[in-house]
C-alpha cells in the first residue's frame, strides 16, 4: 500500500466511525476537539466539552478551572474568569 492508499483507508475508517457515533451506535470518546478563546467542542458529535463551546455556541459556561498558582488557594475558569476557592 502506498501512502495515499493508507491515508484514504484511514479516512474511510474514520468516516465509518463518525457515522456510527452520529447514529448513536457508538459512544463518542471526543477524539477530535476544537477549541478557541470561548471554549472547546467535539468535532465528531458536536458536544461541548469546555467553556461556552467552540465559537461560544452556549450561553452558560462549562467551567474549566485552573490554579492561580501553587501557593494560591484560588482557581479561576479559563473561559469566563469565574474565581473559586480550591477544593481541599
Ligand atoms: Zn464527541
Ligand atoms: Zn467558566
pLDDT at 76: 96
d(CA 88, CA 41): 29
87 CA to middle of ligand 2, Å?
16
Domain, as residue range, for 62: 3-85
Q: Is residue 52 within 8 Å of 59, Cβ to Cβ?
A: yes
pLDDT digits (tens, 9 = 90+) for 42-84: 998 899 999 999 999 899 999 999 999 989 999 999 999 999 9
Residues, Cβ < 5 Å to ion ligand 1: 28, 30, 42, 44-45, 47
52 CA to middle of ligand 2, Å?
8
d(CA 63, CA 51): 6
- Evaluate the CA torsion angle 24, 61, 66, 55 in order and state its sign: positive
Q: Is the pTM of this model over 0.85?
A: no
How many independent structural domains does the chain possess? Answer: 1
d(CA 39, CA 50): 5
Amino acid at each position: 500500500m502506498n501512502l495515499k492508499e493508507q491515508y484514504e483507508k484511514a479516512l474511510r475508517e474514520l468516516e465509518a466511525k463518525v457515522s456510527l457515533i452520529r447514529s448513536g451506535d457508538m459512544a463518542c470518546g471526543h477524539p477530535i476537539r476544537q477549541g478557541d478563546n470561548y471554549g472547546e467542542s467535539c468535532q465528531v458529535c458536536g458536544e461541548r466539552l469546555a467553556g461556552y463551546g467552540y465559537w461560544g455556541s452556549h450561553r452558560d459556561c462549562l467551567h474549566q478551572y485552573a490554579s492561580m498558582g501553587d501557593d494560591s488557594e484560588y482557581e479561576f475558569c479559563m473561559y469566563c474568569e469565574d474565581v473559586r476557592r480550591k477544593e481541599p
